[in-house]
Structure 1
Amino acid sequence: MVKRSVVIGVGHYLPERVVPNSEFEKTLDTSDEWIRTRSGIERRHFTAEGEMTSDLATHAAKAALADAGINADGIDAIVLATSTADLTFPSAATMVQARLEMTHGFAFDVQAVCAGFIYALSTANALILSGQAQRVLVIGAETFSRIMDWTDRSTCVLFGDGAGALVLEGREEPGMPSDRGILSVDLHSDGRYKDLLFVDGGVSTGTSGYLRMQGNQVFRHAVEKLAKTAEEALERAGLTPEDVDWIVPHQANIRIIQGTAKKMGLPMEKVVVTVQDHGNTSAASIPLALSVGKTRGQIKPGDLLVTEAIGGGLAWGSVVLRW
């Protein structure tokens, strides 16, 4: 028998304000058709004034805990993936910990931009396998609307705000590819590509800055690297693409999603797609898609999932898990 990190609850939260593509036509040289054609995005959610990343994360956390049928007393740790924390410090995770009235255990943030949730899942899995925690609340939450340059039509139409969360629990499994839980993890980064996707602010500038992206270059790296990391993770788990029930990808761009599925030899019917409704929510996109996929009735117990993402750094990776 081996220990596996098994998903026992999932939830998500989206801000109330829905922003259709047509809203950008008022201020930018763009159109609903232009945005849909290039990204697959139809609408996204933006936070209200005063609504912060920790607020979204707390809502998603409560939904995941409710789905798991436990309260915060049953959690040992919180790992929160975000690039848009409320403050430079303390971590957004500790803010969520306080709002859940959780006075035990520990909480911290992970920052790997759009790949953040993959890195957070990997970290939570390591905590469970090492025996440091038995149950970990893993959250992805972002308010990218606060780092948009609203004059840059190539970026500001792509991103949205939201949060998703999972509860992982350590359980004994036979040690086979048929086990429930996280079966393998594959992580990568290459700092040489920093200038392809970054925010031009921080402590070095004294400003929060704006997101800057070389979209064509990011696209080229994304399809190749995402398909490769997914295949490597499957091989590590003793599985093949033919075993996969669902790809749950980072929801950045429908063309990247389609290109990755094609490179893996899998039909789009096996891909959970939410980008049309949420836009790119960075570290929140995968847990959002997992929660929505379960709500839709797509993701069922026993299904084999591959989830993968790439973001600024460049940082990328994948996780294979059985639901």
Structure 2
Amino acid sequence: MDGWMAGLGAAQLPNTDALGQLLSDYTKRVYTSQMQHLKDIAGTLAMEEAEDPAHVNKLRSALESVDHKRRKILRQMKSDMALMMKSGGSPIHTPSTAAEDARLASLISLDEILNQVKEIMREASLSPLKKLRKEKLLASLDALSERMPSLLEIDHPCAQRQILKARRDIESMSEEETHPSGETRFLPSSAARSEVNQWNVLQFNTGSTPPFIIKCGANSNSELVIKADARVQEPKGGEIVRTLPPPSALTDMNYEEIKQAFDQLPEAVCLLALARTAEGTRARYSRLYRTLAMKVPSLRDSVVELEKGV
């Protein structure tokens, strides 16, 4: 070889020629520089303490972006290095990202905890806040506190601040007075009888009792009102009028409270709605409420909204 090419030397297997080696070394330096740059950025982000949910989301997004770029470079490196290794090149040693990966995992867990705190506060804002539901919400916050070990130490303060703030806010909320007998839920009302302009009649047959009927209508407040005999068999004891609340009224009641509340209702409703568990009773009462309300023209729209979960 003459001229400038003489300095490159001749290719010798399994090594590449001098120009190929130069390109290989340059490629390695480029990849090494890129990976180190991303590690420096991720390292800085991983050491930054999150102050609030918005900051948590910002840090998480930034670390996920860096991780995405790093993986993209690794895929490109894998392709290029496969060709270089065939020509006798040496592999590239990438810097460890264990610390940064651990922080990203911690931020993901922290973000989930903060989202649940937000959901708990949303539920607490729904009125009325009854004592039992308030206790359940506070218990949910306690459960979130028990998940602290899944976080790195740097993320503990943010989680603790948000949980403590939520606890203080919920504890400061006034509770709606509840009555074990349920008289605020199933209201006997002589006014309800006079306000109902039209009664609609439904007949039921459970198979274990004689057929019985329940009359239903709506009062001026668009509430479901029922009228039925006190008992389904003789002596029936005369008709009872009750204003029935929507199924959500049973949400925070335990089984004994539901049974006590149902004691004020006509036996027909108890036969159709009462199950062996609180959950089963809530489901059966919900179906019965929808069945009765759908027979009342002025309540059908509210039933549709109820079925949508509104």
| TM-score normalised over the length of structure 1 | 0.20
Structure with more of its chain in strand, by fraction:
1
Higher radius of gyration, 1 or 2: 2
Structure with more of its chain in helix, by fraction:
2
| TM-score normalised over the length of structure 2 | 0.20
